[in-house]
Amino acid sequence: MTDSPHLLFGSNLVAAVTPMRPDGTLDDPALTDLVDHLLATGCDGVVVAGTTGESPTLTGAETTRLIRAAVDQVAGRAKVIAGVGTNDTASSVRRAREAEAAGADALLLVCPYYSRPTQAGVLAHCTAVADATALPVMLYDVPARTGLAFAEATLVELAEHPRIRAVKDAKGDLFEAMSVMARTSLAYYCGIDELNLPYLASGATGVVSVVGNIAADRNAELIRAVRHGDLDAARAVQTSLIPLVDAVMRTSSGAIMAKAALVELGIIPHATVRLPLLESPPSDLRRLTDALATTAVPA
C-alpha cells in the first residue's frame, strides 16, 4: 500500500455525531443534512460510529446503516472512516468486515477497553482486525476512555502491518507522538481539539475533531496555515476557537455539546442522546450559546 495518509483518510476529519429522533432512533434525513454541512465546511474525512457518534450504544445493524448512509451521501467527495473497535476481538473483526461491505474507506480501531489486556493482547487484537479486511486502519489511542493506552513499543510493532497506517492520538503525550512518528511511517491525527495546533506543528497529518462538527472550516484554515509555515496565522485561528473548544470539550461531553451546537445552528433538528448520556443542562447551553456568538461559524 503506497497511498499517502492524506489520500487514505483525509486530513480535516470530523468525529461526526449520530443524529437521533426524540425517541432515540436514528434520524436518516438529519444525517444527510449533517454530511452535507460537513462537506460544505471543508471536511475531507467523516468518522462515523466513533466515540462522538455514541458507538457504545449503537447496535451492529445501526452501525452498518450509518456507514451505508454516510457513504451514499458522501458519494466519493471525502473519506468515510468507520469506528469498529469493541472490547471483543471477534465482534471487532465482524464489524470491520461489515464496514468494508458497507463501503467504508477506512477503519478506526480503539484499544480494547474494560478487559485491560496485556500489550501482547492489544497487539493480537489489532492484528486480527487489520487482517480481516483490505481497508487501511487508524488506531485510536484514548486511555481516558479505555483504561489502557497503546505502549510506544506496541505502536512501533503495529506500524509494521501493511494496513495499519495511522493513529488518532487522544492520549496527549506529544513527545511520544513525535517519537513514534520519527521511528515509523504512522501518520498522526490529533484527537484532542485543545491540542490541534501543537500536534500539527509537530508533524501530525491532520485532526479528528469533535468541534469540526461545527467549525470544520476553521480547522481547514488551521491545517492550511501550519502546512504553509504561517504559525502566526495558525495561532490566530486556534485562539479564535478557544471559546468554542472550551464550551464543547470542557463541559458535559463532546457528543452532547456538538449535537446541541448543531441544533443551535439549524443543521440537525434534535439534540437527542442515548442514556447514559443526557442532553445539555441550561448552564452548559448558555456557555455554548455565548461561544457560538463570539465564534462565527457557518449555519
Rounded mean pLDDT, 86-111: 97
Alpha-carbon gap, residue 19 to 277, rounded angstroms = 14
Alpha-carbon gap, residue 293 to 295, rounded angstroms = 6
Confidence at residue 155, expressed as pLDDT on a 0 to 100 scale: 98
Rounded mean pLDDT, 159-183: 98
Is the pLDDT reported for residue 224 higher than 60?
A: yes
* Angle, vertex CA 3, rays to CA 136 and CA 133, nearest 5: 20
Which residue of the set 79, 140, 189, 259 is catalytic?
Answer: 140
Nearest to 17 by CA among 38, 39, 41, 42: 38
Arithmetic mean of pLDDT over the chain:
96
Rounded mean pLDDT, 25-33: 98
Q: Which three cell numbers stand for residue 11?
A: 486530513
% of the chain with per-residue pLDDT over 90: 96
Q: Residue 5 — very low, low, confident or very high, per pLDDT cuts 50/70/90?
A: confident
- Decide if 189 is catalytic: no
Rounded mean pLDDT, 102-114: 97
> pTM value?
0.95
Confidence at residue 1, expressed as pLDDT on a 0 to 100 scale: 46
Backbone angles phi, psi at 286, to 5 degrees: -65, -40
Q: Which residue has the higher pLDDT, 266 or 299?
A: 266
Q: Which three cell numbers stand for residue 251?
A: 463541559
Q: Where are the beta strands (DSSP E) in the chain?
A: 12-15, 45-48, 79-83, 106-110, 137-141, 164-169, 187-190, 206-209
End-to-end CA distance of the chain: 39
Which residue of the set 79, 113, 114, 168 is catalytic?
Answer: 168
Query: CATH class for domain 5-294?
Result: alpha beta
Is the pLDDT reported for residue 44 higher than 50?
A: yes
pLDDT tens for 150-168 read 999 999 999 999 999 999 9
* 250 CB-near residues (< 8 Å, 6+ apart): none
- Decide if 113 is catalytic: no
Alpha-carbon gap, residue 79 to 6, rounded angstroms = 10
Is the pLDDT reported for residue 298 higher than 80?
A: no
